[in-house]
Structure 1
Amino acid sequence: MHEHIIHSHTDECPPPGGFCRTHELNIQLLAALYAVSRVLSRSLDFNETLRDVLRVLHDEAGLTRGLISVLDPETGKLNIRTIYTPEGPILDDNQYGPGEGIIGLILEKPRTIKLVRVADEPRFLNRTQIYSPELPFIAVPIKVGGDLKGVLAVQPEAPEDGLLEERAQFVEMVSNLIGQSLSLSMAVAQEKSSLLEERDLLRRTVRHQFGFDSMVGRSAVMRRVFDQARMVAKWNTTVLIRGETGTGKELIANAIHYNSPRARNALVKLNCAALPENLLESELFGHERGAFTGAVEARKGRFEQAHGGTLFLDEIGEVSAAFQAKMLRILQEGEFERVGGSKTIKVDVRIIAATHRDLETAVEMGDFREDLFYRLNVMPLFLPPLRERIEDIPEIARHLLTKIGNDQKRKLKLTDMANRRLANHEWPGNVRELENCLERAAVLSDDGNIDVDLIRFPSVRERTTPRPIRATASAPPENFHRPAVNPNSGGNSEVDIDDPNLSEKERVIAALEQAGWVQAKAARILGMTPRQIAYRIQTLNIEVKQF
């Protein structure tokens, strides 16, 4: 291995009236070092930064044909990352294993290697075909925390002049700076990779959570709603979700967004009924600095935040007539101005609106603009109230109990009688009321088993009429309800207490009716003790008739 030999100089340094060559080189290299530090602090794009460093070494330090290789932790080889020649940067995919060429020697044993003349070193491979055999060569390891991470190699642009050692020390300093930049770049890359993995996991979780296959409800009317939502999710069509409070309008909006091409962008939500008109305008459209008292800085509104994604406007039927006109413009043109601003802003936003109001009646009465109604009502989805899909209650209850149980860190279970009690409530608050009812019952349950006595309602609104029976050829209209009749009763109107379609409450009431509301007699009809039927009357909230 040829090492640089320091030559003795007999010339006076510095010469009279000037600087010696060493001093001049140090001034040049100091300026180049400053330029390198500026490059390394300017960008987190590591590849771009490395190219700029080699360019600075070429332009300001007289060190040309720069090469930087980075260690591949999987293969254990040095991969060339970037090369800069007098003609500019070039691409090269060469690799160096331990002991392969001069660069491979550094991989084998990290140390600085200086060649006075490339042609004198038989182990110099020159795979890149860029190095002049008549010029010196310097290669130094790039380390991070004491571990080899790469190699920096350069070639002075002039033959050996006795200052190779000084140039090698300078290249070592540049290598140390590159090592620090590489360490930061690796940390940023690792953090970015971690964040991307977390983002992708959250996207998969959200897509599964709000997927149509995960939505609860198997009744025909809900399957029809899910099918319509699945079809409209593929397009940018405006959707108007209608239904009573607590029917799950926001869940449908979530499902539409997260199963649409816009799922990678934001779903922004706003309850229009929660804010007064002056705040609603600022919240939706944003405001400029100084637009009103307290507006100390400009702020983006919900429309700008939802650019490229979806904006869910809940309770759209509650906005004033004046604000409806402003809403109409952005729906038609996709543009608006911030409060206090004059610059027109264009956005690409999909609108999903929801309301529990009868908008057709509101239009007839002049409370809601007809043109805005037609703009919103492109694809209407009607969510039925819970009382119209009683068959979904057991499945919804199981889903809600699983959610509540996860919060309480225990398993919850409904008894059959509790399920029957749920099925006999009118549910004016729909699924939201059902969830509150089950959470209240779970709190009152010591062992996680929820029996009928724990199913309580703030105000009792249960069905007291039996369910309709299947119509026969001579049956009255479908909306006519009548109890099931025992065929052995001689034509009277007594209810068959063995009818499997009857709920527990209906069976007890039927037995009491047959027994003339004598509890002991009704208990014998049902095969119970008087104490048992008294318990049923109390827990099922049956009002006892007095004669």
Structure 2
Amino acid sequence: MSFSVDVLANIAIELQRGIGHQDRFQRLITTLRQVLECDASALLRYDSRQFIPLAIDGLAKDVLGRRFALEGHPRLEAIARAGDVVRFPADSELPDPYDGLIPGQESLKVHACVGLPLFAGQNLIGALTLDGMQPDQFDVFSDEELRLIAALAAGALSNALLIEQLESQNMLPGDATPFEAVKQTQMIGLSSGMTQLKKEIEIVAASDLNVLISGETGTGKELVAKAIHEASPRAVNPLVYLNCAALPESVAESELFGH
């Protein structure tokens, strides 16, 4: 058994749907549990040497309220240090953090365990854990297939954490506050260059194309962006301003190119 292109595409589509991050994470975890036929799956956020559950499937509900410090959970510590897919042997002496936490299987020990560390650039931001009651439950899936899943999950988690950070810093207002200063400002001028620019704005505003606006500081790039927005079918929606110059290179690349 292996991942088909359709399976990977469906996972990617679910992660891009216009719903809240928590819903996306839950859809991801539920889908993975079904595709991998595992008994439990979890998405964890890494923060201050501990893993914090964000979404679970097949585990007791109170797992969401727990904090897993690396010092007390050697398997999670191994995942955090690995940098790649971690497969724990069925006879591993390291205790599994979910032993006794799979409903209906409380008296049994988890046999199969796979950990996928999630990175944004070189920074560990979380992990996916997959658990099963059969020792060979995940042997049919290659490390490369699991890396693809980890990459999709890492991208979704990275974007969610970035948005959370921007919101906490009031950098992602829903009412387009960064553009308030130019709200009443219009491009003026009747030169041939300005006339051509306005024609190009009308063309791209009617499309769904990505547009790169270039120019030196003070030449009016924000005015052009605002004009495109106002002339587009999305004019009734907020114009969200994201300053890519203030973002780490890897995060900016993800925002611009979707990976």
Q: Same fold (TM over 0.5)?
A: yes
**Cα distance, 1:64–1:32 mapped onto 2, change above 3 Å:** farther
Give, as a single letter, the amino acid of the residue that structure 2 aligns with 1:126. Answer: P
Aligned residues of 2:50 and 2:67 also touching (Cα < 8 A): no
Aligned residues of 2:75 and 2:97 also touching (Cα < 8 A): no
| TM, length-normalised to structure 1 | 0.28
Aligned residues of 1:65 and 1:85 also touching (Cα < 8 A): yes
Higher RCO structure, 1 or 2 (CA under 8 Å, sep 6+): 2
- Check if 1:137 corresponds to 2:113: yes
- Check if 1:177 corresponds to 2:177: no
- State how far apart, in whole Å, the 2-side matches of 1:197 and 1:42 are: 19
In the TM superposition, residue 55 of structure 1 has moved relative to its aligned partner by: 0.5
Aligned residues of 1:142 and 1:150 also touching (Cα < 8 A): yes
Q: Map Cα deviations across residues 182-231 of structure 1 (whole Å, 9 max, x no partner).
A: 222223223322337989xx9xxxxxxxxxxxxxxxxxxxxxxxxxxxxx
Tell me the residue number matched to 2:128: 152
**Cα distance, 1:154–1:125 mapped onto 2, change above 3 Å:** closer
Tell me the residue number matched to 1:124: 95
SS in 2 for 1:164: coil
Gaps of 5+ in 2: 103-107, 178-232, 237-259
Which residues of 2 match residues 318-329 of structure 1 at below 5 A?
A: none
In the TM superposition, residue 32 of structure 1 has moved relative to its aligned partner by: 3.0
In the TM superposition, residue 77 of structure 1 has moved relative to its aligned partner by: 1.9
Q: Map Cα deviations across residues 427-458 of structure 1 (whole Å, 9 max, x no partner).
A: xxxxxxxxxxxxxxxxxxxxxxxxxxxxxxxx
Q: Map Cα deviations across residues 329-360 of structure 1 (whole Å, 9 max, x no partner).
A: xxxxxxxxxxxxxxxxxxxxxxxxxxxxxxxx
Which residues of 2 match residues 40-439 of structure 1 at below 5 A?
A: 40-43=15-18, 45-72=20-47, 75-85=48-58, 91-98=64-71, 100-117=73-90, 120-127=91-98, 129-130=100-101, 133=109, 135-156=111-132, 158-160=134-136, 164=139, 166-195=141-170
In the TM superposition, residue 171 of structure 1 has moved relative to its aligned partner by: 2.7
**Cα distance, 1:157–1:32 mapped onto 2, change above 3 Å:** farther
State percent identity of aligned pairs.
12
In the TM superposition, residue 95 of structure 1 has moved relative to its aligned partner by: 1.6
Give, as a single letter, the amino acid of the residue that structure 1 aligns with 2:127. Answer: V
Q: Map Cα deviations across residues 467-492 of structure 1 (whole Å, 9 max, x no partner).
A: xxxxxxxxxxxxxxxxxxxxxxxxxx
SS in 2 for 1:133: coil
Q: Map Cα deviations across residues 146-197 of structure 1 (whole Å, 9 max, x no partner).
A: 2111111002464416x61625433321111111112222232233223379
Aligned residues of 2:52 and 2:67 also touching (Cα < 8 A): yes
Aligned residues of 2:59 and 2:101 also touching (Cα < 8 A): no
In the TM superposition, residue 87 of structure 1 has moved relative to its aligned partner by: 8.1
Give, as a single letter, the amino acid of the residue that structure 2 aligns with 1:49. Answer: R
Give, as a single letter, the amino acid of the residue that structure 2 aligns with 1:111. Answer: D
- State how far apart, in whole Å, the 2-side matches of 1:98 and 1:107 are: 11
- State how far apart, in whole Å, the 1-side matches of 2:51 and 2:149 are: 19
Bigger Rg, structure 1 or 2: 1
SS in 1 for 2:141: helix
- State how far apart, in whole Å, the 2-side matches of 1:198 and 1:106 are: 36
Which residues of 2 match residues 522-541 of structure 1 at below 5 A?
A: none
Aligned residues of 2:115 and 2:128 also touching (Cα < 8 A): yes
Gaps of 5+ in 1: 1-24, 203-296, 301-547
**Cα distance, 1:35–1:92 mapped onto 2, change above 3 Å:** farther
**Cα distance, 1:96–1:172 mapped onto 2, change above 3 Å:** farther
Tell me the residue number matched to 1:219: none
SS in 1 for 2:170: helix
Aligned residues of 1:137 and 1:156 also touching (Cα < 8 A): yes
**Cα distance, 1:173–1:64 mapped onto 2, change above 3 Å:** farther
**Cα distance, 1:89–1:78 mapped onto 2, change above 3 Å:** closer
